[in-house]
């Protein structure tokens, strides 16, 4: 019997009415003969509410205790969904991450899944039960609850699908698939029927919130067929139609296919830029600046170092906005080692990226991107590229303008 994992996000679980609809949809798949594991998120807004409560008590919350609090939203969801299924006459059972157990490392608030014990889940499935597993959470080697980072239920679902060798992982959400860019920012954005794994990984890691990037990594590493589709359709929609809707992440590169040069645009508002001016240009300086940053567990994204003038250079890098204050503090503490350099920061910057495997065989994408931004008088502060993406850092006030202009330039609104 085919096993399928369903994941339902916050909006999809947003009210008891919506949860009843999720139960109807899940029951429909179970009635059609599938074994089903469901991974729900907390009800929409709930994780934010819990984190806000924590910060009222402790402005920089202790990470272990924060996870203890933030993980509870999903515990409510699994229980409610199990009840909704029981009320429909289905056999269902809910588990927290630690009950399963989903084992993680101890990096609280951004833990990584290390392994999953699937024995209990398999036993329930074989007994005909629908199994509901809390997303976003796991248990570390010392028995502490650890969460997987915001949007982490996607990763819980794909990891469950990988562990159980499910035939598919269906990510039900509040949009009907993966679009050329966030449809809430560009109304002309177009849904893609398929997206290559590589493009999806870039889009997700460059900010497209529709999938957490680690879930895409899991899908790739374990070849889990993964589809993003809407949870807001009629729950009794014909199963065949539903099974073919949305966007499928494809692993096969169709070499005969003529790829669009750019397939999508991602953006993140969540950036901050730090510049160290007038550092002595000598071996080891990058390490002197970034060593303490990395020791403080802060991830660095873009980096540039200028040409040196009279033995001094400028060094600029970006971190996520949540780490900005901490990063500035770290550099201020190490100022003496930086030979009198001055540290400047700007937490009002955004990153916009164009992504496409077609870039490999086309030249001129960068110049087309830069021309478009220049026509809109948007100043580019930093640039980074890889084989299939170009990212620019710009003032956050121009982010939406940039995304719309680029979407048009690269003709993403047309088939
Ligand atoms: P869920 O609660 O179901 O996990 P999320 O809010 O995390 O849902 O992700 C879905 C949202 O992702 C959509 O509502 C949409 O605004 C946003 N989004 C960003 N980029 C894209 C994209 N390229 N395609 C579709 N949705 C996107
Ligand atoms: N509830 C968690 C969050 O809001 C996990 C998720 O929704 O995927 O980030
Ligand atoms: Mg999400």
- pLDDT tens across 112-127, in order? 999 999 999 999 999 9
User: Tell me, what's the pLDDT at 34?
Assistant: 98
* Overall average pLDDT of the 290-313 stretch: 91
Q: Which two tokens mark 183?
A: 């449809």
Closest CA to 172 of 126, 230, 117, 114: 230
CB 209 within 8 A of CB 154: no
Q: Is 136 in the pocket of ligand 2 (CB under 6 A)?
A: yes
Nearest bound ligand to the CA of residue 209: 1
Pocket, ligand 1, Cβ cutoff 6 A: 9-12, 41, 151, 173-175, 178-179, 181-184, 208-210, 264
Nearest bound ligand to the CA of residue 231: 1
What are the domain boundaries of the chain?
Answer: 3-175+210-252, 264-409
pLDDT at 339 over 90: no
Q: Is 356 in the pocket of ligand 2 (CB under 6 A)?
A: no
Phi, psi of 175 (to 5 degrees): -125, 160
CATH fit for domain 3-175+210-252, picks 3.10.105.10, 3.40.1160.10, 3.30.360.10, 3.30.300.30? 3.40.1160.10
Closest CA to 409 of 245, 257, 188: 188
- Kind plus residue range of the DSSP H or E element containing 63: helix 63-70
Exposure of 65 in the CB half-sphere (CA atoms within 13 A): 9
Please, is 254 exposed, middle or buried when counting C-beta atoms within 10 Å of its C-beta (0-12, 13-18, 19+)?
Answer: exposed
- pLDDT tens across 249-276, in order? 998 766 555 667 899 999 999 999 999 9
Measured by CA distance, the residue closest to atom 2 of ligand 1 is: 9
Residue whose pair of structure tokens reads 């239920």 in the numeric block: 153
Three-state SS at 213: helix
CA 44 to ligand 2 centroid distance, Å: 8
Beta strands in 47-180 (DSSP E): 92-95, 102-104, 113-116, 130-133, 137-139, 145-147, 168-173
d(CA 248, CA 238): 18
| Cα angle 338-344-349, degrees, rounded to a multiple of 5 | 135
Looking at the chain, the whole-number percentage of residues with pLDDT higher than 70 is 98
CA 83 to ligand 3 centroid distance, Å: 23
- pLDDT tens across 12-64, in order? 999 999 999 999 999 999 999 999 999 999 999 999 999 999 999 999 899 99
Q: Which has the higher per-residue pLDDT, 312 or 132?
A: 132
Phi, psi of 369 (to 5 degrees): -65, -45
Question: CA 57, 59, 61, 66 torsion: positive or negative?
Answer: positive
Three-state SS at 307: coil
User: Tell me, what's the pLDDT at 335?
Assistant: 82
d(CA 203, CA 293): 26
Q: Is 151 in the pocket of ligand 2 (CB under 6 A)?
A: yes
Mean pLDDT, the chain, rounded, equals: 95
CA 54 to ligand 3 centroid distance, Å: 21
User: Tell me, what's the pLDDT at 306?
Assistant: 84
Q: At what angle do helices 46-57 and 63-70 cross, to 10 degrees?
A: 140
Ligand 2 mutation pick, 7, 41, 158, max ligand atoms within 8 A of CB: 41
User: Tell me, what's the pLDDT at 1?
Assistant: 80
Three-state SS at 250: strand
Q: Is 152 in the pocket of ligand 2 (CB under 6 A)?
A: yes
Q: Is 42 in the pocket of ligand 2 (CB under 6 A)?
A: yes
CA 391 to ligand 2 centroid distance, Å: 26
User: Tell me, what's the pLDDT at 254?
Assistant: 61
Q: Which two tokens mark 381?
A: 């502060």
User: What is the atom index within ligand 2 of the atom nearest the CA of 150?
Assistant: 9
Ligand 2 mutation pick, 9, 38, 42, 215, max ligand atoms within 8 A of CB: 42
Fold of 264-409: VC0802-like (3.30.2130)
DSSP 48: H
CA 98 to ligand 3 centroid distance, Å: 21
Closest CA to 135 of 4, 5, 18: 5
The number of helices, as runs of H, and strands, as runs of E, in the chain is 14, 18
CA 209 to ligand 1 centroid distance, Å: 5
User: What is the atom index within ligand 2 of the atom nearest the CA of 156?
Assistant: 8
* Overall average pLDDT of the 289-295 stretch: 94
DSSP 26: H
d(CA 380, CA 367): 12
Beta strands in 20-129 (DSSP E): 35-40, 92-95, 102-104, 113-116
Closest CA to 81 of 16, 37, 135: 16
- pLDDT tens across 182-204, in order? 999 999 999 999 999 999 999 99
Cis peptide before 43 (omega within 30 of 0): no
Q: Which two tokens mark 220?
A: 């790739």
Ligand 2 mutation pick, 6, 7, 10, max ligand atoms within 8 A of CB: 10
DSSP string, 143-185: S-EEE--TTTHHHHHHHHHHHTT-SEEEEEESSSS-BSS-TTT
CB 98 within 8 A of CB 145: yes
Tally of residues, the chain: 415
Q: Is 73 in the pocket of ligand 2 (CB under 6 A)?
A: yes
d(CA 63, CA 147): 10
User: Tell me, what's the pLDDT at 60?
Assistant: 86
Three-state SS at 111: coil
CB 146 within 8 A of CB 111: yes
pLDDT at 207 over 90: yes
User: Tell me, what's the pLDDT at 310?
Assistant: 86
Confidence category of residue 361, pLDDT binned at 50, 70, 90: confident
């Amino acid at each position: 019997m085919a096993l399928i994992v369903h994941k339902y996000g916050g909006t999809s679980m947003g009210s008891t009415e919506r949860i009843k609809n999720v139960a109807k949809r899940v029951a429909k798949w179970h009635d059609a003969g599938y074994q089903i594991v469901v991974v729900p998120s907390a009800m929409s807004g709930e994780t934010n509410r819990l984190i806000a409560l924590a910060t009222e008590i402790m402005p920089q919350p202790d990470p272990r205790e924060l996870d203890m609090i933030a993980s509870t939203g999903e515990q409510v969801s699994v229980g409610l969904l199990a009840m909704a299924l029981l009320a429909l006459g289905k056999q269902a059972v809910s588990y927290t991450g630690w009950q399963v157990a989903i084992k993680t490392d101890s990096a609280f608030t951004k833990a990584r899944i290390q392994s999953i014990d699937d024995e209990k889940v398999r036993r329930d499935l074989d007994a005909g039960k629908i199994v509901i597993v809390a997303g976003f959470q796991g248990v570390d080697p010392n028995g502490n609850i650890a969460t997987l980072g915001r949007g982490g239920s996607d990763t819980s679902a794909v990891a469950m699908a990988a562990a159980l060798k499910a035939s598919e992982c269906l990510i039900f959400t509040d949009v009907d698939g993966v679009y050329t860019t966030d449809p809430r920012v560009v109304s002309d954005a177009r849904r893609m029927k398929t997206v290559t794994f590589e493009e999806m990984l870039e889009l997700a890691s460059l900010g497209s919130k529709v999938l957490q990037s680690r879930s895409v990594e899991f899908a790739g590493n374990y070849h889990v067929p993964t589809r993003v589709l809407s949870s807001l359709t009629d729950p009794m929609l014909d199963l065949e139609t539903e099974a073919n809707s949305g966007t499928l992440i494809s692993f096969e590169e169709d070499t005969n296919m003529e790829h669009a040069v750019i397939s999508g645009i991602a953006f993140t508002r969540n950036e901050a830029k730090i510049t160290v001016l007038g550092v002595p240009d000598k071996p080891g300086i990058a390490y002197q600046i970034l060593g303490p940053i990395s020791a403080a567990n802060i991830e660095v994204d873009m980096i540039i170092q200028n040409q040196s003038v009279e033995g001094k250079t400028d060094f600029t890098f970006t971190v996520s906005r949540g780490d900005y204050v901490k990063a500035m503090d770290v550099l201020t503490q190490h100022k003496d080692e930086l030979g009198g350099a001055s540290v400047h920061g700007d937490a009002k910057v955004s990153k916009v990226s164009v992504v496409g495997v077609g870039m490999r065989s086309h030249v001129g994408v960068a110049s087309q991107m830069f021309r478009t931004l220049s026509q809109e008088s948007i100043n580019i502060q930093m640039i980074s590229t890889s084989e299939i993406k170009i990212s620019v850092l710009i003032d956050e006030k121009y982010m939406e303008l940039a995304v719309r202009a680029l979407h048009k330039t690269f003709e993403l609104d047309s088939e």
